[in-house]
Structure 1
Amino acid sequence: MIVLMWVITRPQALGVATEEALQCAFSGDTRMTAAAQNLAQVVANRAVAQGDNETQYAYRHLEDVVRRLASMPGQRVLLLVSPGFITSTLQLEASEMVDRATRANIVINTIDARGLYAPDVLGDIADPPNDTMRTAGFKTSYRVAAQFAQEDVLAQLADGTGGKFFHSRNDVDEAMREAGAAPAFSYLLGFSPQNLKIDGRFHALKVALTNKQKFEIQARHGYFAPKTVADPAEATKQEMQEALFSQEEIRDLPVELQTQFFKKDEAQARLAVLTHFDVKSMHFRKLLGRNNDQLTIVTGIFDENGNFVTGLSKVVEMNLLDTTYGRLSRSGFTVKTSFDVKPGTYLVRLVVRDAVGAQMAARNGAVVIPY
């Protein structure tokens, strides 16, 4: 398995895997070398696909945890204990996970569950390798490299979010205690790459101090460029979804949030979320004598434990005559979104984005509907 994970990108590894397949499946018959190479490639592709599926499964659950944690107040620290990730083709996904956690102000501390370990040079004793004189050295180096590579994602998640990576130690209880704490000092740095090529390649980053004081710096080592140009509509949807599950308030747009409710009976209530816009502070595009803009309004209702209950999305098209624009500039306007809920305590999250200015607003509210 270890050799197979390297076959996709290393021709030398394909030769080693071909030799192994030749010995195992074709009794060393060199006339079957082409068939052995094809078998090695097929099995390697299957192994990498299986590894990617397992990694995607882990990433999806980790993303759910990040989204849930982003909606909670206070300092947020995620502790991930894992034996590592199988080396895969999902480097971009790991980089995007760091981006999501960083935007939500979540620190990820990671612990290598393998503890203090020595590389397993000979492989699994229950499945002894079928090495030949020609392949033994190569397979040993691949096996050792793969075991070390398993911790790469753990280090990436920690370094990229201001966390700490605990590895090569057996005092797991002490590591858990230290990893549960937020960093003493952290800074959020950002930049916009110029002339970025859409090639999916890794770009190294380095953070250094200008003075000569000896401090330990833990920072992101780089990022992966996107492989394709992002769909603007999908990017906007993702941006609003992340904002919905956060608690950070955004005030780029002049928006106010109010709530009202009335009880239908002892078991049901109607909750109204009122979004008021200050039109005079918004950006419009003049087209055919009208003032145009499009507002996307997303409202989420969460219970007192932060669990998502329900939500709605609305799009408001604004094509205002000058007289209407003048009137609304003085009074503003309100959009009402209603929900049927049970009595209880709820957190209301409102996210608004306008199309012309590409600006966002996010507000938090709370409502208690008595039983």
Structure 2
Amino acid sequence: MKRAMHEDPGARLPSPPERQAETDRRTGCQRPAAPPACSPGEAPMSERHRQARWIPLALGLLALGLVAPLLGQKQKFSESTDVVLVEVPVQVTDKNGDPIRGLTAADFEILDGKKPQEIVQFEVIDLMSAELAERPKPVPIAARRHFLLLFDMANSQIDSIVRARQAAFDLLRGLHPTDLVAVATYSLLHGADLVISFTSDRWQVEQAIRSLGSPELLKQRSSDPLALTIAEREGSSDEGSISEDMDSLAAEHVQEMNRLAAQADREALVSEAKTYAKRLKDLARVLDSVEGRKHVVLLSEGFSTEFLTGEQIQGGASGGNRAVESGRLWEVDSQERYGNTELQNDIEDMLEEFRRADVIIQSVDIGGLRAGGDVRGQRGDGKGSLVTMARGTGGGFFENFNRLDEAMAEMIQSTSVTYLLAFQPKDLAPDGSYHKLKVRLKNGPRGARIDHRAGYYAPKPLSERLPIEQRFDLAEVVMSGYDQGTVEANVLATPIRVPGEPAYVPVLIEVDGPSFVGGFEGESLNAEIFGYALNDEGEIIDTFSEIAGMDMAKLGPSLLQKGFKFYGHLDLDPGTYSVRALVRNGATGDFALRVATVAVPEEDSAAPSLSPPLVPEPLGTWLMVREGEAAQKERQVDFPFMLGDQPFLPAARPRLAPREKAQVCLLGYNLDDKLEVEAWVTDHEGNEVKGGKVTVDKQPKRTKQGDQLLGELDTKGLSPGEYQLQVTVRHPANGSASSSIPFEVVKR
């Protein structure tokens, strides 16, 4: 959804509050069913509704400049950082291809061009280690393996594509849970199209493989602007959201591509091969924006090698050979005999771009043994082109899927240990230039083989980055799973059980005004907001995305003074989730990702559960923004934050004055008078501090939203700084639960 923000006296609170960038319709200060969003006299915001546009990630249109900017806002970017950290994932294997463990930073040397660089960060990621699951933070994106399944629709027959889809399903089952997978297709009509971004969600990847990117083949398509999801999960089976006539529709599509190709003459086929090389070169350049080593699994029958090397590789007494032997050189077609030089150059340029982007192509001949009635016509045997693309990037060529499974298993084993090195180049110009890298192993085992990226591109102004590159950037931020970004923001997610339905989980996102606006001086500004809930398997269970259009002439002063607060929701079944809230300034590219863990309790569980402590904040603290009307109408639930008959909005990160007494509401389930309640204050590192007093009434109140325990936080004795409010409840028979919330003590 996209809205424009305006200020207008009087307002009411949005029914479910969510994160950082939506506008709110407000009409006066009387209080009907919805609670007040701002105090009398504070300016609210009216809204105009427009469905957010989902933009296909069409790589084939890049050269024409026809891909619209991310989420529809014209981009005007500025650089906000001067320090660049270059991460270099390195694999070291012995002569048998097995990973070598136990190396340290002292064993490596990095050269940027010819200049040695200081290794400022060093980390070891061993996917086979039992300690991996106990890591305090997710595996860095640069150290995670990325697989792009690329289905070549233009150079493949119908039955070959069907076999390729099954092979792709089999390949998924052999990957590590930390591996990220994307799906793309190549067709004559669209070029290279990204179906789904690199994601941890295997179910979504399966839907992408089944649909092959055709929207009409999905029963219910996701509207995720970052393309981390493609299909809605609601009401879908293992076969996903794919309609029953998928095979026939896909067959018609591929059959048409083959019919056109079979009718083409040699010149047209050479032109098609040139276009193929140039569009894959575009794909390679875009993939450079993705951190870490990328493996493109090219599922194709290839194009004829004759176009590359000429008929001389075919052998035999062709017309060209007889003309040469008889001296009639004027009858020889040089391109037909020796190959098309221009095409050869295009192919080499494409391969160089893949190498620079740290991409390895694993090419698979999905045609296998072809029958005599092959409909490829003049296209010939494409095996040679597949070999060229694989060997040109350091990958492998596979003539059947069984060998592919074996080779991928070997590759997964050999790349299971990654040494992540990082350095900070000095005086790096933001011009997008390419820098060669060399990593050396000092005093390493004899026969050790070292594998690393060949180089890196210097940053370039965001105004020069393609929209699809920006999408990849944001998708990787979401997949990273840890807090990052230059914008100051906080998130609070509180599960509310609804009998017989998924839990309603309000998501509150608070965004600091000055760090969000930055140096922007334009008339209007879009705040782009994304929310994702991932389960323990990396599946994306629910999402939201919104745009808030801000009229800076009217809202600018208030935005800088107050910041803004977004209120939305997720629908989640019982379980534990990583809620990832991303807010981005659409004009500068500055962003914040904040991650919160949410545990939705089982309805029939007797164990106590506890949401983060809720601290009501004064009305008018923020400019309020809400999720779109369609999202609000999805769930008809009572407003979740109530003290008696009074609604309130809790702070995601309370800011309290010294010696202030703040009310605290503990919301949970199975809270009764038998509980032992312990509450205390720690510093931001978790050490208990002197000063600060927390009292909690041990008599719970039953409400529509759950069980409530009310208390008070007294900041007396706490110096200005960052703290955590910690709470634990224990039941003598049913177990315990704990929660916490960060807060600040600030001088006012």
Taking structure 2 as the reference length, the TM-score comes to: 0.29
Cα distance in 1 for partners of 2:581, 2:388 equals 37
User: Is contact 1:274-1:335 (8 Å) kept?
Assistant: yes
State the shift of 1:276 in Å: 1.4
CA distance in 2 between counterparts of 1:174 and 1:343 reads: 38
The answer as to whether partners of 2:579 and 2:595 remain within 8 angstroms in 1 is yes
> What code does the residue aligned with 1:370 have?
P
Residue 165 of structure 1 is aligned with which of 395, 400, 412?
Answer: 395
What is the distance in 1 between the residues matched to 2:156 and 2:441? Answer: 43
Letter of the 1:257 partner, please give it.
Answer: V
CA distance in 1, matches of 2:299, 2:547: 46
2:568 is the alignment partner of 1:337: yes
Residues 1:278 and 1:174: Cα distance change in structure 2 (over 3 Å):
same
Amino acid at match of 2:530: V
Residues 155 and 344 of structure 1, relative CA distance in 2, 3 Å threshold: farther
Match of 1:366, SS?
strand
State the partner residue of 2:684: none
After TM superposition, the score normalised by the length of structure 1 is: 0.52
Name the count of aligned residue pairs: 275
Q: CA deviation at 1:274?
A: 1.3
Query: Does 1:98 pair with 2:287?
Result: yes
Equivalence for 1:272:
506
The change in CA–CA distance for 1:92 and 1:311 in structure 2 (over 3 A counts) is same
Match of 1:367 in 2: 598
Contact 1:296 1:313 in 2 (8 A): yes
Structure 2 residue corresponding to 1:353, chosen from 584, 587, 592: 584
Change (3 A) 1:368 1:230: same
Q: Residues 205 and 357 of structure 1: is their aligned pair in 2 closer, same or farther, counting only changes over 3 Å?
A: closer
Greater gyration radius: 2
Structure 2 vs 1, CA of residues 150 and 221 (structure 1 numbering), >3 Å: closer, same or farther? farther
What is aligned with 2:320?
134
Structure 2 Cα separation of the partners of residues 303 and 367 of structure 1: 10
Distance 1:111 1:322 in 2: 49
Partner Cα distance (1:253, 1:345) in 2: 27
Q: Give the aligned partner of residue 497 of structure 2.
A: 263
Deviation of 1:165 after TM superposition, in Å, equals: 2.9
3-state DSSP class of the match of 1:92? helix
1:367 alignment partner, SS class: strand
One-letter amino acid of the counterpart of residue 51, structure 1: N
Cα distance in 1, alignment partners of residues 391 and 398 from structure 2: 12
Corresponding position of 1:243: 477
Cα pair 1:350 1:364 within 8 Å, conserved: yes
* Contact preservation (8 Å) 2:506, 2:567: yes
1:57 aligns with 2:57: no
Of residues 150, 168, 175, the one that matches 2:386 is 150
Q: Cα distance, 1:66 vs. partner? A: 6.0
Partners of 1:367 and 1:282 lie apart in 2 by: 26
CA contact (8 A) 1:110 1:154 kept: no
What percentage of aligned pairs have identical amino acids? 14
Flag the 1:341–1:220 CA change in 2: closer, same or farther, 3 A. Answer: same
Tell me the alpha carbon deviations over residues 252-301 of structure 1, each in whole angstroms, 9 at most, x when there is no partner.
Answer: 1111122112112132321111111223434356869x9x7542111122
Task: Work out the CA distance in 1 between the residues paired with 2:468 and 2:283.
Answer: 19
Change (3 A) 1:280 1:218: closer
**Aligned-CA RMSD value:** 5.5
Q: Distance in 2 between matches of 1:205 and 1:140?
A: 38
- 2: distance between equivalents of 1:56 and 1:293? 32
**Secondary structure, aligned partner of 2:533:** strand
Cα shift readout 1:52-96 (whole Å, capped 9, x = no counterpart): 99896279999667612499xxxxxxxxxxxxxx88333224404
1:254 equivalent to 2:488? Answer: yes
Preserved contact between residue 269 and residue 341 of structure 1 (Cα < 8 Å)? yes
* Matches of 2:560 and 2:391, distance apart in 1: 56
Contact 1:272 1:337 in 2 (8 A): yes
What is the correspondence of 1:70-85 to structure 2 with a 5 Å cutoff? Answer: none
Whether the aligned pair in 1 keeps the contact of 2:508 and 2:565 (CA below 8 Å) is yes
Q: Secondary structure of the equivalent of 1:57?
A: strand
- Alignment correspondent of 2:530: 298
Give, in angstroms, the shift of residue 112 of structure 1: 11
CA distance in 2, matches of 1:284, 1:275: 18
Q: Residues of 2 paired with 1:195 and 1:322: CA distance? A: 33
- Write the distance in 1 (CA, Å) between the matches of 2:315 and 2:544: 57
Structure whose residues are more often helix by fraction:
1
Structure 2 gap ranges (5+): 1-151, 162-182, 203-272, 325-333, 345-381, 458-462, 603-748
Q: Take 2:470 and 2:418, find their aligned partners in 1: how far apart are those partners? A: 34
